[in-house]
Structure formats: C-alpha cells, structure tokens
Amino acid sequence: MTALRLGTRRSALATTQSTWVADRLREAGHDVELVEITTEGDVSGELLTTIGGTGVFAAAIRRALLDGRIDVAVHSLKDLPTTPEPGLVVAAVPVREDSRDVLVARDGLTLGELPAGSVVGTGSPRRTAQLAALGLGIEIRPIRGNVDTRIGFVSSGALDAVVLARAGLSRLGRLDEATEVIDPIQVLPAPGQGALAVECRSDRADVVAAVSVLDDPDTRACVDAERSLLAGLEAGCTAPVGALAEVVEGDEGLELSLRAFAGTEDGAVDLRRSLVGPYTEPEVLGSRLARILLEDGAADLQVTTSAGPVPDHVPHQPEQLS
C-alpha cells in the first residue's frame, strides 16, 4: 500500500473528479488524502482567455507536485498545456467521459429551436466560433463561472441558453438539466475534453506504479492524437481549435479517426478536416492533420475578441467549468 496526497482544485467539479480518482486508488489498496489547492483561475473573475489560458488551472497544482507538498494531481486534461512539464509525468489517463458539449436552454429548447436573436453564453472561443459558423442568427456572449452560475444565467432570464461540457454535468449528476447534447458535426469538443490526467513526479517510481493502473489505452490514444494536433497548430495558428479522435475498426485492425476544426470567432472561417491513421501512432496522426489545417489556411487565422458584456445580475463565482 502507498500513502498518497492527492492535490485538487477546490471547486465542486474538480473535487468530484479527484474523489473519483481517489476512490479508484483506494480500491487498489492505497491510502489517499485529498489536499485542496487554490489556483489563479479560481480566484480571478476575468475571462479565461485574458488571464493566460488553460494553464492557469494547472500551474499551482504542478508547483505543489514539484515542491513535494502532494504526490498526485488530477487535472481536466484540456486544462493542461501541451508542452510537457519537466520533472512531471501524466501517469494515467482514465477512461473518458462523453466528450460532447451540451446546451442548457430556456423552455427545453434545442439549438435549432432557439429563435433568431436568442442570446447564448459561453466562455469558450472554440464554441463561439463553431456556433457562429452554424448561421443560426443567435447572439453569443462571453461568460465565466461555475455550473450554478452559468445555468443561473438561463433560469434568471439573463440568457436564453448556455453551452457546457457534458462531462462536467455528468460528473456532478446534473445531466437532466441539459436540453440537447450537441452533435460534434456541429460543434467539435476541445482537445482532451471529458478526459482526466493523473500526474505525478517522474522520479517517484512508486507513485507512478500506483497510479498507472488507472490508465485506459483507448482514451490515452485518442487524447494523444488530439493534443498532438493542438500542439502542431499552436506553432502557427492562434485560432480556436476543436478536435475529436475515436477508435475505429479498420481493414487491418484498430485505427484512429481524427476530426478537427479551426476558425474565426465570427464564424466567417470554418475549417474542418479529418484523417485516419494507425492506432499505435496517435501523435503522428495529430501532427499530420495539424499540417493539413495549416496548409489549408489555419496559419493565417488569428484570435478575435468576443463582443458583449457578461451579464451582471447573477452572482459571480469564479470557477471554470470543463
């Protein structure tokens, strides 16, 4: 048995995810203690895009790992930068939740049923770009906050709908509040969405061994392809990116099918490409598709700033929902 201090953000979603991992480790015979850590992303009221991107949620927890204050960290995988952190290793990527986005709308409406002029909230440039490209005549407004805050925008009438990650609602037991699961044909998820990363120090062989039993090979292959694509685009494209890899049966065994999106937040540019490659070479597949997107115009795309204020008559709670 190994005694493990597991670091987690304090939010309800992060704690739920970390508790799930802790319970799996306890089932494997380990003693696990949860250690709460506050990150910059938790205390800032600014939009994620203005305070340094997804890495703001991982930095404080990674410092705690490197300093030896905790032994294991659990992240939403899409919150991790694609560049490896020296001294740390993602020892396990457990089986993935459903990676799709969901709509939570007034009156049980779906995207297609929202009247023209409806106001839809999201804190994600990726979602903004793909929703705008659908040409539904809706207004998209940037928001932040936890699940209660975001759904509160709808129940209070401040917004007609919000778009969230299905995985977050599922882990919190609130899937019944979603009015539609959005097809990836319309909106591709973020690379790694729905997956968890269990990280530890690379020099702790005992911890790596304890955690690695949670690794799911299919999930690992899919997210490796998605994150390789993201890494390839980050070198030459600052546009919003969506990606989804799936394990499929090919003529000679298992393969990976990877779909990707890059575009502009106003919906004027909507690049979608796909590629199939060997199951055993996910990083190669992701890099190849990134090059295709860059060659087809993604290299010329730049980040644009979402317009419109965040509604101010619902109490703000600075937590990022996966």
3-class DSSP state of 78: helix
Encoding tokens for residue 144? 């932040």
Encoding tokens for residue 262? 């890059």
Question: Cβ distance 104 to 120 under 8 Å?
Answer: no
3-class DSSP state of 137: coil
Residue 322: count of CB within 10 angstroms of its CB: 27
Q: Residue written as tokens 């939403």?
A: 76
Active site residues: 79
Q: Which helix (H) or strand (E) holds 276?
A: strand 270-278
Query: Which of 58, 93, 97 has the alpha carbon at shortest distance from 282?
Result: 93
Query: Which of 197, 227, 219, 221 has the alpha carbon at shortest distance from 91?
Result: 197
Output the CA torsion 258→259→264→269 (10° steps): 130
Question: Cβ distance 243 to 223 under 8 Å?
Answer: no
DSSP state of 183: P
Query: Which of 297, 232, 287, 235 has the alpha carbon at shortest distance from 264?
Result: 297
Whole-number Å distance between alpha carbons of 160 and 105: 6
